[in-house]
Amino acid sequence: MAFKKIMIPTDGSEYTKAAVKKGLMLAKALDAKVTAYYILDQTAFVNIPMDATTLNIYSLLEEEGKEAIDYVKAMGDEMGVDVEVWMDEGSPVKRIVDASKDFDLVVMGTLGRSGMSKLLMGSVAEKVARHAYCPVMVVRAKEDVA
């Protein structure tokens, strides 16, 4: 199977930078196109009434998402890799799994959750790897990041 369309989900954290680099290196070697994908996690807002504070947090997350996908685009430009950027809203696992139908490979890092949050939420990367419609390459962050 040829990997010509690679998705790199990112949350902008240090945990995803190793995956971004590996995904772009692979795309360059395979002459593949990359889509940098950021999902604004709406599950965080489910039980919170929409008021000015919530809208401010939402705007901050939206800006964080733009920075995250722009980082992938800039790094891709430096490496000569064609990168498309895509922002979406919803549950990150569900959105990535659904989108995986249109890709040959998903390259993602062990995302920024740790400790109790990881125990309660589970690993996004693990759930995506289990349910995606295409192969998933999980890139572990360097030990000094954790």
**What is the tens place of the pLDDT at every residue in 8-46?**
999 888 878 999 999 999 999 999 999 999 998 877 666
DSSP per position, 59-83: HHHHHHHHHHHHHHHHHHHHHT--E
**How distant, in Å, are the alpha carbons of 16, 37, 77 from that of 112?**
8, 16, 25
pTM for the full model? Answer: 0.86
Alpha-carbon gap, residue 13 to 19, rounded angstroms: 11
- pLDDT over threshold 70, residue 47: no
Question: What does the block give as tokens for 2?
Answer: 């040829």
Q: Check residue 145 and report its DSSP letter.
A: G
**What is the tens place of the pLDDT at every residue in 100-138?**
999 999 999 885 555 544 544 458 888 999 999 999 999
**How distant, in Å, are the alpha carbons of 29, 37, 50, 91 from that of 46?**
42, 22, 10, 11
Alpha-carbon gap, residue 21 to 16, rounded angstroms: 9
Alpha-carbon gap, residue 122 to 31, rounded angstroms: 33
Confidence of residue 146 (pLDDT cuts 50, 70, 90): very low
Which pLDDT score is estimated for 120? 46
Which pLDDT score is estimated for 32? 98
Alpha-carbon gap, residue 32 to 47, rounded angstroms: 41
CATH topology of domain 5-145: Rossmann fold (3.40.50)
Which pLDDT score is estimated for 112? 55
Mean pLDDT rounded to a whole number for the chain: 86
